Amino acid sequence: MVIVSGVRYAYQGRRALGEVSLALERGVHTVVTGTNGSGKSTLLALVAGALKPQSGSVTLTTSRRPAFVIQHTRTSEILPCTVRQTVEMGRWPHRSWLLPLGPQNRRIGRDAMERLGISGLADRQLAGLSGGQRQRALIAQGLAQESDILILDEPTAGLDSAAHRLIRLAVDEELLRGVTVIESSHSPEDIERAERVVTLEGGLVISDTGSMFRPAISATLTS
């Protein structure tokens, strides 16, 4: 589904990612972990196509653009849009050219807000929200894209346990739909739930468990 082959990336000549090669299988939940500055966000941005490899290549065996959810701390504090507008941006690639979003696209946006427990915030400005609320809006935008690859950069960082659980549930639902999920996390709980854990250090992969049995999903969905 995702083939990262000999990828390197440096910011202003300083190495962020050394030579990284990974093949990520369709429908597998991979968590990328590692210390601060180890290159997790850079790797995710390269897979998402938000950054271009300076050498090597990233190949996706899908024609759909991955849904890439950045950390809320990386969004502008002054974005002039509501939560609803933010989430509905996830539907823009699906709308007819220059036309407003139709009822089907709006319904998908509403469903995504509901899954993240933010329907009551729909008309609030994104900039006026707490960090955790803003993070949930960004994740709802990612879900609304209905891509077959969902890339989440530290989606649960700084969230309370209720929000954490909603996000885990949403991710599990995506996995059951066959979506390939790649997320970065420092959380032992998130790492425990992953099928595959890739650990970076200094821009290099220092351990990779490969795909493992997925034990936690059905338990979460039935509890």
Report how far residue 199's alpha carbon sits from residue 212's, in angstroms, rounded to the nearest whole number.
15
Nearer to ligand ATP, 33 or 82 (CB): 33
**Is the torsion defined by CA of 192, 161, 140, 47 positive or negative?**
negative
What's the burial of 190, exposed, middle or buried (CB within 10 Å: 0-12/13-18/19+)? buried
Q: Assess contact for 116 and 139: CB atoms under 8 A.
A: yes
Question: How many angstroms separate the Cα of 156 from the Cα of each of 42, 108, 198?
Answer: 18, 23, 18
Q: Are 62 and 149 in contact (CB under 8 A)?
A: yes
Query: At its nearest, how many Å lie between ligand ATP and the CB of residue 174?
Result: 22
Q: Whose Cβ is closer to ligand ATP: residue 63's or residue 76's? A: 76
Q: Smallest distance from the beta carbon of 150 to ligand ATP, in angstroms?
A: 17
Provide, rounded to whole angstroms, the least separation between the CB of residue 28 and ligand ATP.
Answer: 21
- Report which of 56, 144, 16 is spatially closest to residue 92, judged by C-alpha positions: 144
Which residues fall within 8 angstroms of residue 71, CB to CB, at 6 or more apart?
A: 41, 135, 153, 154, 157
What are the angstrom distances between the C-alpha of 123 and each of 61, 70, 80, 113, 168? Answer: 37, 22, 12, 11, 25
Q: Least CB distance from residue 144 to ligand ATP, whole Å?
A: 24
Q: Which residue, 39 or 109, is less far from ligand ATP as judged by CB?
A: 39
Least distance between ligand ATP and beta carbon 47 (Å): 12
Q: Which is nearer to ligand ATP, 12 or 76 (by Cβ)?
A: 12
Least Å from the CB of residue 37 to ligand ATP: 4
Nearer to ligand ATP, 45 or 118 (CB): 45
Identity of the residue, 27 or 203, whose beta carbon is nearer to ligand ATP in the bound complex: 203
Contact residues toward ligand ATP (CB under 6 A) are 11-12, 16, 34, 36-42
